[in-house]
Structure 1
């Protein structure tokens, strides 16, 4: 298989996952397209470094993560992630727009590294071992970071009175 054939196979197989990864982390289609193109440009340039098998997608996520970090130096875009969190919480109980603002505000208060591990666990449905590979740490460190991020989010959600309660509704 030539390098070009391998790249095309990787692109065809993983484009949808990289697209979703980028779309969930940007506020515009243009930003999403930039992340996707930079990620696959890096894969093309470093085709010999792209691992085989199940690790390919994790490698691409790691590249996309670094591309996104470079793109975010100005302003951080989190609205898409919070909307996805809203959808997941809605499965457990009905969520009103007031509740969404409560969750959005708590999520926005978290440090970037907490938001990232929560996003990888919830939206990309990665295991601790896979998160470790994407963010460049050990599996134990990833589990610890994820546990602490969940605790911090839960604390913020408990501490912040929701707007419904603040408005006198029960």
Structure 2
């Protein structure tokens, strides 16, 4: 009997969904962005599935679904406002305690541009070492390489970056500004 009930429940939901999806999606699209409208339609039919016993028979079905969609939209908008308010508070807090890092930001952007000019095999090794703080043995595990191969790639990449810095790469071609150093090996990294 339980199996029959589940099959009947699934069939009823399919019927409600098939008959009213276009109307609910249209309702959502007229009130929200395409991405938010898709979420709103999905949320509406999730409520309908969970509360299938409360879904009235036609012709009241569509009106009931509109009411659900309206409440889901209100929830969506409240959630967006809370996220925006929290983001504003966090930005204000960060700006009040974090010093100006514009020079460091320029250096990071410049380092990223230098990394992008490396051969493909060296780029991800350098990114994992510098951006993720991984050791050569950890990088080797992530990339499926030997630790020796990782160390060689790191060494070659750092040498290329030092050579580029010494050659005074043209800033208009995406290089570094004078006085901003790209990524290079620290003395202890050179002896790993």
TM-score by length of 2: 0.37
Asked which structure has the greater RCO (Cα within 8 Å, sep 6+), the reply is 1
TM-score by length of 1: 0.42
